[in-house]
Structure 1
């Protein structure tokens, strides 16, 4: 912990020395400049960015002769190895490269140093960077000016609710390329009719509401020795993370630079997560973490007691599922060009129905940014940098199978949905144009896209992240779950650390 605190302090000092002068008014956009020359795009997360960016760079250079796009990634690509334990359980070893505390801090410090010296990449991926700090110091361009002055940029082509949600203090320092969200499903064999009727009355829910609705059904199933879990969430600490996400904006306010860990909300989150574990609502798991050198980290995960239903597959009262799986609520998993068996991941889903989306008491329905970019105010080639952002957000690139998450481009979202239905999205050698949908596929597409579009347009909240703060929280909360500290002590420690960090 002391080592981590020292690293955080080092980074705080580094950030505080960068761009001491607040430059909210950045240079002219120079939209009339010629597209050409060289730009560099920098990101930390190789797994999410590398393949997509390299494909885009190649296509961009072909479209605009005389341009060159350099792609810089910091973390190593992950590798996954699977094996079986002595008692027959499945174990996975994920080598996640240098995606650890030290590496993220090294990367942030690298970017800070480059910006301070008047250099740095032209475009910065906002994956682990505290972009609100760079925005405050005028180190990022306000892209609103580019969007307004560029006659070729058509705002209505993009999901405006997502674009607007990532603004900071009314300015567009970040342009989203892709995003993700989770939807809720429930098992009709586990929830009684009364509970299902309650779920049918609305389509957004808090975890507190979900737990209350399922309580009686859960107790009745328990009496019948049914060991199914209420949520498809591994252990108390993971439950804490999802509950924190629900209340994130109440605890952290980046715009005002305030932290609020000691008003009781954070304590309640910790205690609720622990209570859910004690009540058997979440999956018991064994997690072994072994850190090697600062160049790679191996995470071994052994899945423990899940609770099973028919066919030995696990069942859950509720599942929060990534939107990438939504198509399979409408499409046979084993039809078409692809054959996928997700039972080992999602369990028995044959009796599941869609419930809706997660929200909080304030009506905030969150999404996560999978890919987004800010423009370095030091860039000497802003015109080409802006054109590359537009190219990443174009229909051409947004239908690429290498794009992770939902596309920001409306038409691309629709076309990509059709590719999902035909299976072409997962068969790149055959992705030479969308096949004509059969009558059966048209019906599936209409049902699927109607729900997808409705969900996407309900999203209204981007939970701005700061990887430094996230690491502080992750370092501290185990002390509560292992009994070393009380919830109040953990909250007070974090209040002190994060308040200092925010106000450096």
Structure 2
């Protein structure tokens, strides 16, 4: 459990998210509707009012702010947010401290099941946050609108103001059915005090490359039977195999999402490689000193402040980012998104739905502090990074004398320099690979590999079971 203290408490929800943290919940909830009145593509006139419905597992301050501002600018359109689960509690523990808990997986399963049923029955909301939902499956059934086409036909939407590599990475069969409103980066923090002059080409390294390099760090100079440093911090087997799967998803599930490739030498080899990391003490059997590891496996980067402050917070300030190993061979930093939005193709309010999606992607909303993620809009990204220059100055949202307390270590944040900003922008311009995942497939892999890590089944036996179960799921 991650303990974060902020002095003074100036940021609305969380400051540093070492894991994907759920944002503060809003309170507005409505009911989904595929058509809330009016003709398709029509615009409100006179006293007529339209309602655009949006389904999301848990609302947040960003969506609530967008709803407020959009309705003020479009008096003939209401936005009805349907929230399926309340945000996880962030209870106080002592002055200026929060205990942050992860979302309940049962809520995610409920959301995926409920929205999937609504989509198939033609009763889904106009806009859907597709987190956890297999968007390719619904695109094949022609239940999602091609947002890329809406973008190209809208003269007011300036594509060159966006990180288009991110949009391209999410395309399916040449069409953009779901667009990320914000994104996070799949990166590790490396301990430079240990790495020293080690040359690592993280633009194309695989998990096998990582294992080979890691072997060079396994020394036991004090002869206590334990490595002096562990190449990778503590991570449970189910978390490791999920991380490895998601970083190489396209290798084990065809791009069209219809064919599984788990009963293959590649996946069996990946399973054996994962287990060898525990057998060969690449990963500790218990929680090692966090400064006594080479890579922190849980330091995915979710926000601008994370990207700036985390290298200064770990390994006594001697840390640097590295892209995760992958088997995809695509290159570029991989990203995830907690807010991929889609438009219901059966909606009677497509025009209004697109207007709201476009507003979520606008300069105004992408610049908002409440975004709590990386902006896909370049102007928004510029504003977000520039705000880092006000840290500790008393200007802007950061406040004067802002300090972080990360697992007992206090850090006073200083204003970001032009060099810091340039480094962040360089990394963002290299984001090209979507770390695609499917909650159902990840769940199958996590559950069925447990007997292998416990020594009860062979990798080959487990691969056959996973192949059969995933194939059945993909054919549903």
Interval of TM-score (by shorter of Structure 1 and Structure 2): 0.7 to 0.9
Secondary structure at the counterpart of residue 262 of structure 1: coil
Displacement of 1:71: 0.9
After superposition, where does 1:399-410 map in structure 2 within 5 Å? Answer: 399-410=367-378
* CA pair 390-264 structure 1, distance change in 2 beyond 3 A: same
- Which residue in 2 is equivalent to 1:130? 134
In structure 2, distance between residues paired with 1:211 and 1:390: 44
Q: Among 429, 449, 461, which residue is 1:457 paired with?
A: 429
In structure 1, distance between residues paired with 2:390 and 2:324: 26
Is 2:7 aligned against 1:39?
Answer: no
> What are structure 2's unaligned runs of at least 5 residues?
1-38, 94-98, 400-413
Displacement of 1:42: 0.2
After superposition, where does 1:91-490 map in structure 2 within 5 Å? Answer: 94=101, 96-97=103-104, 99-100=105-106, 103-191=107-195, 193=197, 196=198, 198-199=199-200, 203-219=203-219, 227-255=228-256, 257-284=258-285, 304-306=286-288, 308=289, 314-320=291-297, 321-324=299-302, 342=313, 346=314, 348-355=315-322, 358-360=325-327, 362-365=329-332, 366-423=334-391, 441=415, 444-490=416-462
Q: Scaled by the length of structure 2, what TM-score is found?
A: 0.77
**Number of positions where the alignment pairs a residue of Structure 1 with one of Structure 2:** 415
Secondary structure at the counterpart of residue 291 of structure 2: coil
* CA pair 490-503 structure 1, distance change in 2 beyond 3 A: same
Contact kept? 2:204, 2:325, Cα under 8 Å: yes
* CA pair 145-222 structure 1, distance change in 2 beyond 3 A: farther
Which deviations, in whole Å up to 9, do the C-alpha atoms of 1:428-471 show, x marking residues without a partner?
8679xxxxxxxx95xx4422232222222222221333222222
Contact kept? 1:82, 1:93, Cα under 8 Å: no
Contact kept? 2:251, 2:327, Cα under 8 Å: no
Displacement of 1:262: 1.1
In structure 2, distance between residues paired with 1:217 and 1:333: 21
Larger relative helix fraction: 1
In structure 2, distance between residues paired with 1:426 and 1:362: 45
Which deviations, in whole Å up to 9, do the C-alpha atoms of 1:238-264 show, x marking residues without a partner?
222222223321111150511011112
In structure 2, distance between residues paired with 1:82 and 1:486: 45
- Which residue in 1 is equivalent to 2:34? none
* CA pair 212-361 structure 1, distance change in 2 beyond 3 A: farther
Displacement of 1:178: 0.8
Displacement of 1:151: 1.0
- Which residue in 2 is equivalent to 1:494? 466
* CA pair 109-186 structure 1, distance change in 2 beyond 3 A: closer
Contact kept? 1:143, 1:175, Cα under 8 Å: yes
In structure 2, distance between residues paired with 1:363 and 1:264: 20
Secondary structure at the counterpart of residue 193 of structure 2: coil
Secondary structure at the counterpart of residue 367 of structure 1: strand
Contact kept? 2:304, 2:374, Cα under 8 Å: no
Displacement of 1:473: 1.7
In structure 2, distance between residues paired with 1:41 and 1:485: 45
In structure 2, distance between residues paired with 1:146 and 1:424: 42
In structure 2, distance between residues paired with 1:226 and 1:488: 31
In structure 1, distance between residues paired with 2:311 and 2:301: 15
Contact kept? 2:219, 2:227, Cα under 8 Å: no
Displacement of 1:324: 4.2
* CA pair 265-82 structure 1, distance change in 2 beyond 3 A: farther
Which deviations, in whole Å up to 9, do the C-alpha atoms of 1:66-88 show, x marking residues without a partner?
221111121231125699xxxxx
Contact kept? 1:126, 1:374, Cα under 8 Å: yes
* CA pair 120-237 structure 1, distance change in 2 beyond 3 A: closer
Which deviations, in whole Å up to 9, do the C-alpha atoms of 1:381-401 show, x marking residues without a partner?
111110110111112111222
* CA pair 421-209 structure 1, distance change in 2 beyond 3 A: farther
- Which residue in 2 is equivalent to 1:75? 85
In structure 2, distance between residues paired with 1:82 and 1:487: 44
* CA pair 122-410 structure 1, distance change in 2 beyond 3 A: same
> What are structure 1's unaligned runs of at least 5 residues?
1-27, 84-91, 285-303, 335-341, 432-439
Displacement of 1:129: 1.3
Contact kept? 1:192, 1:217, Cα under 8 Å: no
In structure 2, distance between residues paired with 1:244 and 1:426: 44
**RMSD over equivalenced CA pairs, Å:** 3.3
In structure 1, distance between residues paired with 2:80 and 2:386: 32
